[in-house]
Structure 1
Amino acid sequence: MKHLLKTAAAAAAVLGLAACGSGSPSAGTDASGSPAAGGEGLTPVTVGVIPIVDTAPIWLGEAEGLFAEEGLDLDIQTATGGSAIVPGVQSGSYDFAFSNLISIMVANDKGLDMSVVANGATTTGDAEHDFGGVVVNADSDIRTPKDLAGKKVSVNNLSNIGDTTIKDVIEADGGDAASVQFVEVPFPDAPAALENGVVDAAWIVDPFLTQAVDSGARLVSSNFVDFHPELDIAGYFTSQAKIDAEPELVERFTRAMNASLEFAQENPEKVRDIVGTYTKIDDETRAEIVLPRYRAEFDQEAAQKLADSAKKYGTLSNDADLEKLLP
């Protein structure tokens, strides 16, 4: 595990980068509300993303000129997490942004009016080979998800997609999800918390998952796949106000994003290469990590199950309106 701690510390920058931009007002319009001209006649568009593997398609699409083909000049701004991204969309600092689906559901549950306009990342569907999972130390007596009952499990954020899916997986395996104590530990710190006995199990995503397993940790559940093999994890979203005010801009962004997702899925090595331009994941690790599935379409059944589970476990107070939320 010593090698894991060193590599995890180095990879911490993946999730710890500060915002690159100042969060200026929406670049999609000028002072009069009309589309503003970008470089070479392109319309500037500001997108808030987290600098992780999941967001590779937008970086790749920009590099390959797929957004320029739609007349868009992207200003990709990085943020540390959804707590900064959702308010950025609400205020107009970002025209579009990336977040997991639960976070967007929660934002709407609290009275905001957000809609997803393009997919972001999807589970691989392979329980033995996914980019997120629950791991334990090699000598742990935890063997299956039901064994997590009564244990302390780390997630990066409470009341979000991690603990929601894990609770469902535990119950499906015959365990008592209500008895699990979830604790908030950032992904880069979770391997050390597991090794030191601070938690009994840790939910982590790549690159930390691959590093942990390579260093001796044991996978108990690929919770995304075990929850639903077609689960879409995240998407690109904007405010309903933006959709109403600039529907043509939204359509252009969606087309470019869908093309980028398809290109990324067809070119995994280019995905691994582009990840090295906006993260500090080294070449060796990038070659080993599991990539998400990138696709344009959403699986409605999986999304409905996610929304229902979020309501069941108290993450949402109301039923999510998926007809309004998803494209």
Structure 2
Amino acid sequence: MRHRLLALAAGTALLATTACGGQDSPSQEDGELTPLTAGVIPIVDVAPVHLGVEQGIFEAHGIDLTLESSSGGAAIVPGVVSGEFDLGFSNMVSLIIAREQGLPLTTLTNGVTSTGEQGADLGGVFVSGDSDIESAADLESARVAINTLSNIGDTTVRQSVRVAGGDPTGIEFVELPFPDMPAALETGQVDAVWAVEPFGTVIRQAGGREIASNFVDTDPDLSVAAYFTSEQRLAEDPELFASLTAALEESLAYAQDHPDAVREVMTSYTEIDQSVVDALILPRFPSEIDRDSVQTLADLMLEDGVIDAEADLDGLYR
């Protein structure tokens, strides 16, 4: 599964010309907007870019940003490499894997950060209300659902097991989309799930229990995900991407300062009940990536065999 990203990108010219290549930058005097497309995931993490579009932040920077939903970072990465997307949102593990496979990606801003609070984070490990599993240490031989194998889910869940004093080597990880996890847990298809908001709240409201906050166990200041582009796209129009980065930073700051707006905008791109929207746990939205926390992730990836050699993270940052 470590070669998922490379396989998805196979057949794609690494230096493909994007659909937007050669367009004028947003500094042009005619007032026209530069169209860009971003690959995102329908979870709470990407509320800032939705708010940025809604509030006219990207437009103020000369950008007409179209948001296209995808299943996860492992699918968005090859879309950015091929030029299908000018901008992508992905967890840091997917980006580290991509860089280690030679894919020319670079981050623009942080995407989402852990709250740092046990039992009150944007993601966690959940079991059914009547499960015999009491802590992450009890997951040693459990069947655990995650959205993408060999990625940030299993990497951080293993760390929760270690922190709790258990051995994670015997866990059976099962790939399952986030929306399918509540039902899989309720029917006993799996013993536990790693879910992010809003699906964590859905599980709680159905009687499930959280046994670990895997992001917090990894690093309380964990930079979970980032907005990124390709090195080629950035080199083609650095002025455009400077404007895009500024718009992203403003959107993140707006989301951080307006939690009610975050909840409200989620109803525009997810199909969840208002009761869930009102109760879900919001993450932090700083614009700066916590590089120490990303190094921790890279070290765990090496320990667990997700990557074969020590990651060179310098190229990951703009």
2:226 match: 235
1:26 matches 2:14? no
Counterpart position of 2:213: 222
Q: Which amino acid aligns with 1:42?
A: L
Give 2:311's aligned residue. Answer: 320
Structure-2 separation of matches of 1:192 and 1:288: 19
Kindly indicate whether residue 238 of structure 2 is the aligned counterpart of residue 247 of structure 1: yes
Q: Which residue of 2 aligns with 1:13?
A: none
Counterpart Cα distance in 1 of 2:30 and 2:66 = 11
Q: How many Å apart are 1:295 and its aligned residue?
A: 0.9
Amino acid at match of 2:308: S
TM-aligned CA deviation for residue 267 of structure 1: 0.1
- 1:195, CA displacement in angstroms? 2.4
User: Any residues of structure 2 matched to 1:69-84 within 5 Å, and which?
Assistant: 69-84=60-75
Moved more, 162-171 or 69-78: 69-78
> What residue is the counterpart of 2:133 in the other structure?
142
Which amino acid letter does the alignment assign opposite residue 164 of structure 2?
D
- CA displacement 1:221-273 (0-9 Å, x = unmatched): 01111211101111111111112222111211111101100110000111111
Counterparts of 2:38 and 2:271, CA distance in 1: 21
Residue pairs, 1:262-273, within 5 angstroms: 262-273=253-264
Contact kept? 1:231, 1:303, Cα under 8 Å: yes
Q: Report the CA distance shift for 1:39/1:110 in structure 2 as closer, same or farther (over 3 A).
A: farther
Residues 270-310 of structure 1: CA distance to partner in whole angstroms, max 9, x if unpaired? 11111111222232221111112111111111111011111
| 1:196 aligns with one of 187, 204, 207 | 187
Match for residue 151 of structure 2 among 152, 155, 160: 160
Give yes or no for the alignment of 1:87 onto 2:78.
yes
Structure 1 171/306 Cα, relative in aligned 2: closer, same or farther at 3 Å?
same
Structure 2 residue runs of 5 or longer lacking an equivalent are 1-16
Q: Report how far residue 191 of structure 1 moved.
A: 2.2
Q: Give the conservation status (yes or no) of the 8 Å contact 1:56–1:271.
A: yes
Q: What letter is aligned with 1:28?
A: C
Q: CA RMSD in A?
A: 2.0
Partner of 1:119: 110
Matched position secondary structure for 1:67: helix
For 1:73 and 1:199, the matched residues in 2 are separated by: 42
Q: 1:60 and 1:39, CA in 2 relative to 1: closer, same or farther beyond 3 A?
A: farther
Contact 2:18 2:233 in 1 (8 A): no
| Partner of residue 185, structure 1 | 176
In structure 2, the partner of 1:211 is: 202
**Equivalent of residue 297 in structure 1, options 280, 288, 313:** 288
Which 5+ residue runs of structure 1 have no aligned equivalent?
Answer: 1-24
Query: In the alignment, what sits opposite 1:171?
Result: 162
2:12 corresponds to: none
Moved more, 171-180 or 314-323: 314-323
- Is residue 299 of structure 2 the alignment partner of residue 280 of structure 1? no
8 Å contact kept, 2:163–2:217: no
Q: Which secondary structure state, in structure 1, belongs to the residue aligned with residue 268 of structure 2?
A: helix
Once residues 195 and 72 of structure 1 are traced to their aligned partners in structure 2, the CA distance between those partners, rounded to angstroms, is: 44
Question: How many residue pairs end up in the alignment?
Answer: 302
> Residue type of the partner of 2:77?
V
Task: Quote the Cα distance in structure 1 between the aligned partners of 2:87 and 2:68.
Answer: 10
TM-score (norm: length of structure 1)? 0.87
For residues 48 and 188 of structure 1, the distance between their equivalents in structure 2, rounded to whole angstroms, comes to: 18
| Alpha-carbon distance between aligned partners in 2 of 1:226 and 1:163, rounded to the nearest angstrom | 13
CA distance in 2 between counterparts of 1:303 and 1:113 reads 18
Task: State the partner residue of 1:98.
Answer: 89
Conservation of the 8 A alpha-carbon contact between 2:47 and 2:265: yes
Contact 2:263 2:278 in 1 (8 A): yes
Normalised by the length of structure 2, the TM-score is: 0.89
Residue 171 (structure 1) shift: 1.3
Aligned amino acid, residue 180 of structure 1: I
Verify the 8 A CA contact 2:106 2:316 in the aligned structure 1: yes
Change (3 A) 1:38 1:195: farther
Give the CA deviation at 1:27. Answer: 4.7
For 1:190 and 1:51, locate their aligned partners in 2 and report how far apart those are by CA, in whole Å: 15
CA separation in 1, counterparts of 2:65 and 2:227? 14
For 1:8-57, what per-residue CA distance to the aligned partner results, in whole angstroms no more than 9, with x for missing partners?
Answer: xxxxxxxxxxxxxxxxx735334xx6548799422222211112211110
- CA distance in 1 between counterparts of 2:246 and 2:25 reads 18
Q: How far is the alpha carbon of 1:114 from its aligned partner?
A: 0.6
Per-residue CA deviations over 1:94-124 (Å, capped at 9, x if unaligned) read: 1111111111111122221111111111111
> Residue 321 of structure 1: CA displacement?
2.2
